Amino acid sequence: MKENVPCHVAVIMDGNGRWAKKRNLPKMAGHRQGMVSMKEIIKHASALGIKYLTVYAFSTENWKRSNEEVKGIFNLLVSFVDKELRELHKNNVKVNILGDYLKLPGDAIERIEKTLSTTKDNTGLVFNIALNYGGRRDILEALKAVLQDMKTEALKEEGIEEEYFKKMLSTGRLNIPDPDLIIRTSGEMRLSNFLLWESAYAELVFSQVLWPDFTKEDFDKCIGEYNERQRRFGGRQELDKV
């Protein structure tokens, strides 16, 4: 595509369950097809020259789902890593995890750490997977880190600036810039506790397409909508100033 691409795109991959229900299939069929869509979007984002791609894979609230569904999601994660790690590494993709992945089952933790270790020196697309992640909890953990620095006298109150606080967030610790564009699929129009601090000036695009049906053409449409907007960051364009 000829349009400019955002540096960082974040995606709330929504609609797996509804996709399966429409076809009278079990929920896990939707999650499996969602993994196929995720793989294609990773490849396409890399080809477009996007620097950072972040996907919301499992939130802190998703633990409320049935044990069967939660276990199935983690099994899919293990399967995805086993099948795709070689290709991700071959394509110079660096994988990061946002969230407390150490609360996941042991086999999932093992695959995650293998992926992090294998891809840590790659210099292409930075692919961030939000796992057991919640924006509110991330902000609370950052606040605790700030208070700990103050307690040990490594930080004074006057030193608490936005940039300092950002470095305490999951994204800040990994030097991930704020998202330029956040896409949510399936027609839902909310952030659902995703990148709450970082999304302050992100452009939001909501697609009616269920995630398992989401294609690279749908992704391009979202970027096209992003390109039609003027990002003012609270200011005004020169022609608007009167």
Q: Which of 16, 62, 107, 128 is catalytic?
A: 62
Q: Which of 14, 138, 178, 180 is catalytic?
A: 14
What is the number of other CB atoms lying within 10 angstroms of the CB of residue 113? 13
Is 67 labeled as catalytic in the residue annotation? no
Q: How far is CA 194 from CA 17, 126, 133, in A?
A: 19, 18, 8
CB hemisphere CA count around 135 (13 angstroms): 12
Is 227 labeled as catalytic in the residue annotation? no
**What residues are labeled active site?**
14, 62
